[in-house]
Amino acid sequence: MSASEAPPEARDPEIRALLSALHGQRRHVLGILEGLEADALHRPVLPSGWSCLGLVQHLALDVERFWFQAVFRGNHGVIASLAGIEDAWQVAPGTSPDAVLARYRAETELADAVVTAAATADAPLAWWPRDLFGEPHLHTLRDLLLHVVTETACHAGHLDAARELLDGRRWLVLT
C-alpha cells in the first residue's frame, strides 16, 4: 500500500477514520511534488535551507518512522537507527528523488501495518522520548494519529508554498 492508495482496513472504525484523514494528507504531500524536476526538488526554498526532498525525508524518518515504529511500537532497533541521523531535513546532493519518495512510501506502508494491527485507538504508546519532549503529552494511538495528521497537513501546506515559489503551480485551489 502506498501513500497514494486507499488506507488499509483497520478493525476499529475510529482508526479507519483517522487513517483515512492521514492518507489524504500523504496524497497531498506526494501530489504537490508531481512533475517537479530533480534540481527543483533538491533546491533550498527558504533561508533555513530545506528543500522539498528534505521535507519529505523528514516526514519519512522523523514523523512516520519515529512516531509509529519507535514511539507506538517501541522498536528499539528503530530508536537506535534514528539516533544516528543528525538532520533528516538535509538530503545529500545527488540523492535520487525517487529514492527519497520511495522511502517515504515505504515508511507509510510500515506505519499503516502497525496502526491496522492495533485493536483500538486507545492502545497505549510503548515508549516516550522524555529527553526530547519531557513528560508525555501523547498517550494513545488516537493521540499519536491526530498528531501525525496535523504534522503531515502542516508540512503539506509548506510544500504548497514551496511549489508555488518554485514554478507557480498550486494544489487544489478553489475559486
- Residue ranges per structural domain of the chain: 13-167
Count Cβ atoms below 10 Å from residue 17 Cβ, excluding itself: 14
Type and span of the H or E element at 150 = helix 141-167
Question: Do residues 2 and 129 lie in contact, with contact meaning Cβ atoms separated by under 8 Å?
Answer: no
Cα–Cα distances (Å) from 164 to 7, 80, 167, in that order, read: 28, 37, 6
Residues 6+ apart with CB under 8 A from 48: none
Helices in the chain by DSSP H: which ranges? 13-33, 38-42, 52-58, 76-83, 97-117, 130-133, 141-167
Question: Do residues 4 and 113 lie in contact, with contact meaning Cβ atoms separated by under 8 Å?
Answer: no
Least confident of 7-11, 28-32, 75-79, 157-161: 7-11
Q: With H, G, I as helix, E, B as strand and everything else as coil, classify residue 168.
A: coil
Class of domain 13-167: mainly alpha
Question: Do residues 123 and 10 lie in contact, with contact meaning Cβ atoms separated by under 8 Å?
Answer: no
Average pLDDT in the 97-111 region? 98
Average model confidence (pLDDT) across the chain: 92
The set of cell numbers assigned to 142 is 488516537
> At 80, is the pLDDT very low, low, confident or very high (cuts 50, 70, 90)?
confident
pLDDT at 4: 46
The number of C-alpha atoms within 13 Å of 52 and in the hemisphere containing its C-beta is: 30
Read off the pLDDT of residues 122-172 as tens digits, 9 standing for 90 and up: 999 999 998 888 999 999 999 999 999 999 999 999 999 999 999 999 887
